[in-house]
Amino acid sequence: MSYYNGKRVLITGAGSGIGALMARELASRGAEVIVTARRIEAARKVSREIRKQGGRAIPMLLDVSDLDSIPAFRDRLHDKAGPVDILINNAGVVFGGEFEKVGLAEHLNTLQINTMGLVAMSHAFMDDLLQATRGHLVNICSASAFVALPYGSTYAASKWAVLGFSESLRLEMKERGVDNVAVTTVCPSYIDTGMFEGVRNPLFTPMLSPQKVVRSILRATKHGEALVQEPMIVRSLDLLKGALPRPVWDEVSLRTGVASSMKSWKGKH
Ligand SMILES: NC(=O)c1ccc[n+]([C@@H]2O[C@H](COP(=O)([O-])OP(=O)(O)OC[C@H]3O[C@@H](n4cnc5c(N)ncnc54)[C@H](OP(=O)(O)O)[C@@H]3O)[C@@H](O)[C@H]2O)c1
């Protein structure tokens, strides 16, 4: 029997991309999936597909940028289904371009959704996880949490913050002697979902397939692993950044194409 069988999993931003794929994969492994999206039609569509395959899914409207609505959302979910075992904070946005040419509203929205929304969701559902036999908090971060990302500065900032938040919470659980809650931070480079349409992949970082990333996330969550870093090269970023003098590290970023990868970003819309 699958590890996920009988678990209730809440996924934010599950109307598309890896969120929708995780929902389908988890449902096929016997989980009851709370498919949330800021457009209810998107959540309903994914849920319908899951049910057609014999899985269990509940579509719910959730805009994680509306921080004040989150406790009421949790109460509605508790009435409808009950507490969750796994929270996957997946919702995210990106707006690429030269810093001053991207609107301030877009920059602030990036931080609000990717960071503040994630913190507010984790806060609202932490009691559920603490009361679960085995609770999991899975935060979808990014490889950009380890590097500077020109033309995507607020996206990188939002993910650096998520990495710091997530790793601190993981260690806090350890220090508090909480052994039934695992915190996993997921840091992939570019994934072929359309979110980063137009980017030029840096050296040694091929576009990842959503299926591969989702397989890694589900495996790491099951084993309570702290970090998912895809592809392999992402695992060496911390070491390289720490070891190399900053001007040399800058040169590495420039020459491998990391620094210019977002220059040609178009995104989905
Ligand atoms: N694609 C990559 O290269 C890549 C790499 C590293 C990390 N990530 C991270 O992976 C996660 C999923 O991204 P993806 O690649 O699957 O792209 P995606 O298909 O665009 O997924 C992002 C999802 O978040 C939703 N969302 C945006 N704002 C929201 C809000 N305020 N409330 C609730 N949901 C909201 C989007 O809904 P709408 O459809 O309504 O916009 C969308 O369904 C993101 O956190 C992203 O930062 C992606």
For 204-262, what is each residue's pLDDT tens digit? 899 999 999 999 999 999 999 999 999 999 999 999 999 999 999 999 999 999 999 99
- Residue 19's pLDDT band, with cuts at 50, 70 and 90, is very high
- Residue 135's pLDDT band, with cuts at 50, 70 and 90, is very high
% of the chain beyond a pLDDT of 70:
100
Domain range annotation of the chain: 8-264
Ligand 1 pocket check for 196: Cβ under 6 Å: yes
Ligand 1 pocket check for 60: Cβ under 6 Å: no
Ligand 1 pocket check for 87: Cβ under 6 Å: no
Mean pLDDT of 63-83: 98
Mean pLDDT of 9-34: 98
Residues forming beta bridges with residue 35, ordered by sequence position: 11, 59
Instruction: Choose one of 12, 66, 90 to mutate for the ligand 1 pocket test, by most ligand atoms within 8 angstroms of C-beta.
Output: 90
Residue with the smallest CA separation from ligand 1 atom 7 is: 142
What homologous superfamily is domain 8-264 in, according to CATH?
NAD(P)-binding Rossmann-like Domain (3.40.50.720)
pLDDT of residue 170: 98
- To which residue do tokens 């603490």 refer? 130
Query: What's the CA-to-centroid distance between 168 and ligand 1, angstroms?
Result: 23
Mean pLDDT of 13-30: 98
User: Is there a cis peptide before residue 231, judged by omega within 30 degrees of 0?
Assistant: yes
User: pLDDT higher for 268 or 136?
Assistant: 136
Ligand 1 pocket check for 160: Cβ under 6 Å: no
Query: What's the CA-to-centroid distance between 12 and ligand 1, angstroms?
Result: 9
> What sign for the dihedral angle of Cα 262, 115, 242, 205?
negative
Taking the model in full, what pTM does it have?
0.98
Residue with the smallest CA separation from ligand 1 atom 21 is: 17
269 pLDDT exceeds 90?
no
Ligand 1 pocket check for 231: Cβ under 6 Å: no
Residues acting as catalytic residues: 155
Mean pLDDT of 151-166: 98
Angle at 204 between CA 167 and CA 228, to 5 degrees: 25
Mean pLDDT of 57-73: 98
Q: Are 141 and 185 in contact (CB under 8 A)?
A: yes
